[in-house]
């Protein structure tokens, strides 16, 4: 617990022992009594004022409001101004940047104070964590490794932590991420409604990322229940270890190998992973197939085709604004129940149809 947080808790106890309308000690008196700095005392009083527990009168001092809270922080409302730390990993991510920007805008529009920090490692933000106190930390680790030490440091400076985009159950923090099973269900159901009876999954090969395994499991379970006979899972790297160029040749060779072995490819594919739109088009073009004339494609998670003007791919995803609104709801729930168990929120994705999927073509891509 930081010094500022300790000061807040101490002054709050002072408030709870003072009758409504009663006057609190002066800032100087509180500094002496608590051994705290002027900044810590004033920050704590401001936080209590924002909660509606304390009122200040110019020239007279601070008073306990008539509507002071009887319990810990249940008086906090959606209109309360929060001191928020928004942390995003510096790893390049167009989607991540859009999500972070939407979250920032949403928090600012709600009247909160937001400190946005981009980090490479814990040492680069240690001073921020040590010297500040926050009501809430929103962490977007993206695809980076998230050491337990980072969470431990965050818990020292933030009352509540919400992690966006990672399934980190049992870490004693609130988490929000895409409902992966719902993503697969929406994508496959859409393709089946178009008449496709053979559906494949292209999945990014990344042994450390549990999310891809969840998608593959969901796909297998769905296809088994739907009695889809030809439902191969093609796993391939989206990027090389050396650079970030699309590995289209590697993926194309794996698809061609499957075609040679089974005499054909499925009439539709669900694509999960960081494969660009251009990469997907190039892969099927190299196999002599055209999207959607020969094969239909639905992308999971992609929020737009940044490299294909006007958009092209049917997708199952959450928009940045949707994610920001879901996080806002999580914040309200956490403030309403500050001592409840850590929350897990699986955000529902939305199917957006586009040009890359259409009704099945008979006797294609054989």
Does CATH number 3.30.450.20 belong to domain 83-178+320-348?
no
Structure token pair of residue 320: 């940045």
Would you say 317 and 271 are in contact if contact means Cβ atoms under 8 Å apart?
no
- Which residue, 288, 291, 284, is CA-closest to 355? 291
Provide CATH 1.10.10.10 ranges for the chain.
3-64
Q: What is the CATH number of domain 3-64?
A: 1.10.10.10
pLDDT range class, residue 74, cuts 50, 70, 90: very low
The pLDDT of residue 288: 97
Structure token pair of residue 40: 């810590």
The pLDDT of residue 233: 95
Quick: pLDDT tens for 198-257.
Answer: 999 999 887 566 678 889 999 999 999 999 978 999 999 876 545 555 588 899 999 999
Give the domain 180-318 fold: Rossmann fold (3.40.50)
The pLDDT of residue 292: 95
Provide CATH 3.40.50.2300 ranges for the chain.
83-178+320-348, 180-318
Residues 272, 211: Cα–Cα separation, whole Å: 10
Find all residues with CB under 8 Å of 141, minimum gap 6, and list them. Answer: 89, 163, 165, 166
Structure token pair of residue 159: 């009352």
Quick: pLDDT tens for 98-121.
Answer: 888 888 888 888 888 888 888 777
Whole-prediction pTM value? Answer: 0.70
């Amino acid at each position: 617990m930081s010094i500022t947080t300790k000061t807040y808790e101490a002054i709050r106890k002072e408030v709870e022992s003072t009758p409504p309308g009663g006057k609190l000690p002066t800032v100087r008196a509180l500094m002496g009594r608590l051994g705290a700095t002027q900044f810590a005392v004033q920050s704590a009083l401001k936080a209590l004022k924002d909660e509606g527990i304390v009122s200040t009168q110019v020239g007279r001092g601070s008073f306990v409001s008539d509507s002071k809270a009887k319990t810990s922080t249940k008086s906090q409302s959606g209109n309360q101004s929060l001191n928020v730390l928004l942390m995003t990993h510096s790893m390049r991510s167009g989607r991540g940047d859009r999500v972070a920007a939407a979250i920032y805008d949403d928090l600012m529009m709600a009247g909160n104070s937001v400190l946005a920090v981009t980090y490479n490692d814990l040492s680069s933000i240690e001073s921020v964590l040590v010297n500040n106190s926050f009501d809430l930390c929103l962490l977007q680790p993206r695809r980076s490794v998230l050491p337990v030490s980072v969470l431990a440091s965050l818990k020292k400076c933030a009352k509540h932590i919400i992690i966006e985009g990672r399934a980190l159950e049992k870490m004693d923090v609130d988490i929000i991420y895409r409902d992966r099973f719902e993503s697969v269900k929406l994508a496959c159901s859409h393709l089946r409604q178009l008449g496709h009876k053979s559906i494949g999954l292209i999945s990014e090969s990344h042994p450390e990322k549990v999310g891809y395994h969840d998608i593959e499991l969901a796909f297998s379970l769905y296809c088994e229940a739907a009695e889809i006979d030809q439902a191969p899972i093609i796993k391939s790297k989206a990027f090389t270890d050396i650079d970030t160029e699309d590995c289209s040749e590697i993926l194309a060779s794996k698809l061609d190998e499957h075609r040679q072995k089974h005499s054909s490819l499925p009439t539709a594919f669900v694509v999960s992973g960081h494969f660009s739109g251009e990469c997907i088009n190039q892969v099927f073009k190299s196999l002599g197939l055209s999207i959607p004339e020969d094969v239909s494609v639905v992308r999971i998670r992609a929020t737009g085709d940044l490299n294909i003007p006007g958009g092209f791919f049917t997708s199952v995803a959450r928009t940045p604004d949707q994610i920001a609104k879901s996080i806002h709801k999580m914040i309200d729930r956490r403030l309403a129940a500050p001592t409840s168990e850590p929350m897990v929120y699986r955000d529902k994705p939305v199917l957006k149809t586009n040009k890359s999927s259409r009704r099945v073509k008979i006797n294609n891509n054989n």
